[in-house]
Amino acid sequence: MDLRGRAIPSVNRLRVLLMLFHTMAQIMAEQEVENLSGLSTNPEKDIFVVRENGTTCLMAEFAAKFVVPYDVWASNYVDLITEQADIALTRGAEVKGRCGPNESELQVFWVDRAYALKMLFVKESHNTSKGPEATWRLSKVQFVYDSSEKTHFKDAVSAGKHTANSHHLSALVTPAGKSYECQAQQTISLASSDPQKTVTMILSAVHIQPFDIISDFVFSEEHKCPVDEREQLEETLPLILGLILGLVIVVTLAIYHIHHKMTANQVQIPRDRSQYKHMG
């Protein structure tokens, strides 16, 4: 009984130590993040990298701006009017992140943590006519803002911390093993805890890969958004039509030249019989 009684506390201590080790490992993994925004030639774009076990597991490049409505008192101090704060994600932001086989997360904080952005990515498998296919997507966005912060908000009523969340979000859908790229602007609506207020998140110059990165600090093959593909087609279509028109003109001139040369070498037979005596 004594041996069994001593063994049970030892097992419990071992479990506690394992849990602490697992928790510390998660914390250390979250701390393996880098803000490489200084490498971007676009002053509005940020670059974030999350690394675990010495390898890159999440890369994100994007420019983000949040349009936040808030109430202020009118000049009569009776009515409320709605103003708008434009809050851009700035360089030098604090970054946290974590990676998993089917779920990854990126968190960004700036202006002394007055603003915080959380982006949750999930990878899923779907059965199709071609068999199972895996995709990843942005499944949740959360934006926390402090309307008492004086740089962007001016005398906001009910100033303080507010949280804006996405609702049933499925954005940036990309085949597994590829990165998502989109230069065009994309908007995501977020419902705010500030009553009857909707925050708009505007993303642009996006290049993100939260799963299956093969090479360190290198994105996998790009999956372009439909808007970029249309714009690329609109840019290349005039060039293609110009090349086709030029080819048609060249072929037409070549046919005309050959036809003219062949007809010039033919003997002209006089239609007037009186001209026959001059032949020969």
What is the mean pLDDT of the segment spanning 5-17?
A: 55
Assigned domain for 191 exists: yes
β strands within the chain, DSSP E: 33-35, 46-52, 55-73, 80-88, 94-98, 103-110, 115-128, 131-146, 161-165, 171-175, 179-182, 186-192, 198-209, 222-224
Assigned domain for 135 exists: yes
Assigned domain for 151 exists: yes
Phi, psi of 79 (to 5 degrees): -90, 155
Assigned domain for 4 exists: no
Least confident segment among 15-19, 40-44, 101-105, 233-237 = 233-237
Residue 103: pLDDT over 90: yes
Q: Please give the Cα distance from 103 to 124 (Å, whole number).
A: 9
Assigned domain for 166 exists: yes
Q: Tokens 């675990």 appear where?
A: 52
Cα dihedral 23/25/29/30 (nearest 10): 20
Assigned domain for 152 exists: yes
Assigned domain for 228 exists: no
The full length of the chain comes to 280
Reading the block at residue 140, the tokens are 């949740």
Q: Which residues contact 88 (CB under 8 A, 6 or more apart)?
A: 44, 63, 64, 65, 66
Give the pLDDT score at 234: 47
Residues 89, 117: contact at Cβ < 8 Å?
A: yes
Q: Please give the Cα distance from 92 to 229 (Å, whole number).
A: 32
Q: What CATH number corresponds to the domain at position 201?
A: 2.40.160.110
Domain that holds residue 180: 27-223
What is the mean pLDDT of the segment spanning 39-65?
A: 92
What is the mean pLDDT of the segment spanning 19-38?
A: 64
Please count the structural domains in the chain. 1
Closest-CA residue to 139 (of 163, 115, 175, 103): 103
Express each pLDDT in 141-153 by its tens digit.
999 999 999 999 9
Assigned domain for 242 exists: no
Closest-CA residue to 109 (of 139, 161, 145, 84): 145
Express each pLDDT in 166-201 by its tens digit.
999 999 999 999 999 999 999 999 999 999 999 999
Its pTM stands at 0.72
Express each pLDDT in 209-264 by its tens digit.
999 999 999 999 999 999 865 554 445 545 555 666 667 677 776 776 776 677 76
Instruction: Place 44 in a pLDDT band, splitting at 50, 70 and 90.
Output: confident
Give the pLDDT score at 184: 95
Give the pLDDT score at 228: 64
